[in-house]
Chains A and B, each alone.
Chain A
């Protein structure tokens, strides 16, 4: 523990800016994963414990696509769309069978998927730590804002994530499809009897949620190591985010993800060994005071 160092950092603007930018990066990546998780839970009632695996696959897909084409755009699209398609296949073959099953059953199926995919990834890409090269365009000296160090790629990441968050929020609230999804979340039988193919709606939601995780994985590939099992730690953090924000709430997920991101980045200075503990402490406190989370149980 080094709380003195944390206090010193809080006292200097450059240090605060550096840590905030790092915290926002962690938080926004986490938001992409958690929003997919919360969307799938809110609409399908499925606690997708295998969601971290989708994130990991996104990173590997992006890595391979980048090696082939050297294009950041192609890599990001490959991560997003590739995982969306993968998620769609999983939903049609596997998860479709366990909607409405009890949470233990869902846990067991997801656990099997995690075990299988971790090994498949090891067979295809090997078990070593891999890293995607930083794309040429972003290989510039970091920006100095108010004395703080902010890598250019972080700003790109902020832009993409915020655009996606906005698109998701508008898509859910303004489009016909978004309204159908929200209705199907509340009463699928009624929606089906109005002539909507709810099975299609569910599959689409799963694909979108998977795509979000894939996008997060793809964006993380240049700044984090890509390794089998990477999905597990992001899964745990996404769960904390989802619970703190409120299961099913996308706005709550955004607030909670930023909270956790900042906790992580400042905690790494003051109490590196207990950062995770503090996150779980916050989760426990929220559950005790308001189990439905910061934002309750509504879809944004």
Chain B
């Protein structure tokens, strides 16, 4: 009964957030805001999927952008080939990302901690190199040029920024509800147990391998969706999507917001994008200022913002009780 009400609460919250986004996009409609909402949809989805691995399953992946990039390339290539509608191409791109995650995950999830991180990084960079060297298919280091066609479907014209912003926000909202369900389900509980005490879980007869692989595939699939949105946003696909810096940025967003709460990564993504935009607006020395802000936040709080806030609030409540 409680799980049902939790589920309903999530849907209501997601609908509320979507409504706010719709009012912002349609009501104010400033270009900067629409642009921000699209990017927030993309990176919000990427960090939520990555935090299923990091926060819930305790698997620190350095190669999550492999699935982001593969989703973008698969979608872009299908749309350029003609004859695919947008929803069909999205489904195919998600399936492709899931299969890739299944293959890579089957090799990676056997390793633990830092070795898992390095192996995921190695596979991501391997895919990056393949995309660079397979010029005839992918366009090499130029990326997928010539634009991605976006034929309208069900009255949705993704070529228009406002439609794309609402579509990205809707994808994020639906995915957030689904991912929250995954985390709350017995499967999610098992993942947390594997994170905290893998030996005990193995004694109880849980297959460490299967649960971790399951989480890896789910995370990879949602990262693929985020890549599809990126491909729609920039109307192409570029090798940087698959480069380690993209995985790095997702990790920083998560660290900034906090790994211990569901919404932490989203706060991190919004903060990262916002600070990054602000700094670009007033100085060309983006790295200098952005790095300094990062250092202050990280060394000041020693943890993500939302994790810090939750902890501060809890300890304050304890003190009031005492």
In the complex, the answer to whether A280 meets B125 with C-beta atoms within 8 Å is: yes
In the complex, the answer to whether B115 meets A287 with C-beta atoms within 8 Å is: yes
Give the chain A neighbours of B60 by CB distance below 8 A. 103-104
The reply to whether the CB of A192 lies closer than 8 angstroms to some CB of chain B is no
In the complex, the answer to whether B285 meets A123 with C-beta atoms within 8 Å is: yes
In the complex, the answer to whether B133 meets A273 with C-beta atoms within 8 Å is: yes
Main secondary structure of the interface of B (DSSP, over half): helix
A260 to B299, alpha carbons, bound, how many Å? 36
The reply to whether the CB of B111 lies closer than 8 angstroms to some CB of chain A is yes
Over the window 141-170 of chain B, the binary record of Cβ atoms lying under 8 Å from chain A Cβ atoms (1 yes, 0 no) is 000000000000000000000000000000
Considering only CB atoms and an 8 Å cut-off, how many residues of chain B contact the other chain? 42
A267 to B259, alpha carbons, bound, how many Å? 41
In the complex, the answer to whether B255 meets A291 with C-beta atoms within 8 Å is: no
Residue of B nearest to A275 (CB): B129
A243 to B123, alpha carbons, bound, how many Å? 14
Main secondary structure of the interface of A (DSSP, over half): helix
A154 to B294, alpha carbons, bound, how many Å? 41
Q: What is the minimal beta-carbon distance from B62 to any residue of chain A, in angstroms? A: 8
In the complex, the answer to whether B129 meets A277 with C-beta atoms within 8 Å is: yes
Stretch from A114-122, A139-147, A166-174, A195-203 that touches the partner: A114-122
The reply to whether the CB of B16 lies closer than 8 angstroms to some CB of chain A is no
Contacts A104-B60, A273-B140 known; A115 to B290 CB distance under 8 Å? yes
A274 to B127, alpha carbons, bound, how many Å? 10
Q: What is the minimal beta-carbon distance from A291 to any residue of chain B, in angstroms? A: 4
In the complex, the answer to whether B118 meets A103 with C-beta atoms within 8 Å is: no
Contacts A104-B255, A273-B132 known; A47 to B298 CB distance under 8 Å? no
Stretch from B183-191, B213-221, B244-252, B312-320 that touches the partner: B244-252
Give the chain A neighbours of B111 by CB distance below 8 A. 287, 291
A56 to B181, alpha carbons, bound, how many Å? 47
Contacts A108-B252, A284-B126 known; A118 to B287 CB distance under 8 Å? yes
Which listed residue, B54, B119, B285, B288, touches A287 by the CB 8 Å rule?
B119
In the complex, the answer to whether A280 meets B114 with C-beta atoms within 8 Å is: no
Over the window 289-302 of chain B, the binary record of Cβ atoms lying under 8 Å from chain A Cβ atoms (1 yes, 0 no) is 01110110011001
Contacts A109-B298, A120-B288, A274-B133 known; A47 to B244 CB distance under 8 Å? no
In the complex, the answer to whether A108 meets B125 with C-beta atoms within 8 Å is: no
Give the chain B neighbours of A274 by CB distance below 8 A. 129-130, 132-133
In the complex, the answer to whether A111 meets B126 with C-beta atoms within 8 Å is: no
In the complex, the answer to whether A116 meets B288 with C-beta atoms within 8 Å is: yes
Over the window 94-118 of chain B, the binary record of Cβ atoms lying under 8 Å from chain A Cβ atoms (1 yes, 0 no) is 0000000000000100010111011
In the complex, the answer to whether B251 meets A107 with C-beta atoms within 8 Å is: yes
Interface positions of A (Cβ within 8 A of B): 1, 47, 94, 97, 103-105, 107-109, 111-116, 118-120, 122-123, 236, 239-240, 243, 247, 271, 273-274, 276-278, 280-281, 283-284, 287-288, 291
Interface positions of B (Cβ within 8 A of A): 54, 60, 107, 111, 113-115, 117-119, 121-123, 125-126, 128-130, 132-133, 135, 140, 244, 248, 251-252, 254-256, 259, 285-288, 290-292, 294-295, 298-299, 302
* Nearest 3 A/B pairs, CB to CB: A277-B129, A115-B291, A115-B287
